[in-house]
């Protein structure tokens, strides 16, 4: 749950401060399963996604210094979350097996009819 506003005529009434509630899906992709026959430790992935989301949940993004001057669109937020998860993988927070993940896709659902997402490739260790 966030509050924010946008700059630019393309956003119409969303230029005013408004709230948004998202359901967040993170998908981890790899060409081959790891030695435990998994893509990622889903428990660690859930934990780390929660930490990423906690950084802006129940906040007005317009007031957060890290988002200053940014139109925090659904797509941009999906990219931001994907980038944060990529950093977590690089740091080893999702376990050593996660270094084999090829891509991350993040989708933010605003409702059952409106959602947007972002997918990014990862550099694989090797």
pTM for this structure? 0.92
User: What's the structural domain count of the chain?
Assistant: 1
Residue with tokens 């709230």: 19
Range of 33's domain?
22-121
Residue 126 has pLDDT above 80, yes or no: no
Residue 78 within a domain: yes
In a domain, 85, yes or no: yes
Q: Is 35 a domain residue?
A: yes
Whichever domain contains 62, its CATH number is: 3.30.479.10
85-102: average pLDDT: 95
pLDDT number for residue 80: 97
The Cα 29–Cα 19 span in angstroms is 31
- Decide if 88 is inside a domain: yes
Summarize pLDDT for 16-26 with one digit per residue, the tens.
999 999 999 99
115 assigned to some structural domain: yes
In a domain, 89, yes or no: yes
Contact 116, 90 (CB under 8 A): no
Report the DSSP pairing between strands 59-60 and 23-29. Answer: unpaired
Across residues 65-75, what is the average pLDDT?
94
Please report whether residue 26 resides in a domain.
Answer: yes
Strand 59-60 versus strand 103-109 pairing type = unpaired
């Amino acid at each position: 749950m966030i509050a924010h506003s946008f700059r630019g005529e393309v956003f119409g009434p969303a230029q005013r401060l408004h709230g948004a509630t998202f359901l967040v899906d993170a998908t981890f992709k790899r060409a081959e399963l790891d030695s435990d026959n998994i893509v990622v430790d889903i428990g660690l992935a859930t934990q780390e996604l929660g930490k990423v989301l906690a950084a802006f949940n129940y906040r007005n993004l317009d007031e957060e210094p890290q988002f200053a001057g940014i139109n925090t669109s659904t797509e941009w937020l999906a990219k931001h979350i994907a980038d944060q998860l990529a950093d977590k993988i690089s740091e080893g927070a999702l376990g050593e097996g996660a270094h084999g993940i090829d891509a991350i896709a993040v989708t933010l659902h605003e409702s059952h009819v409106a959602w947007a997402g972002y997918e990014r490739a990862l550099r694989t260790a090797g």
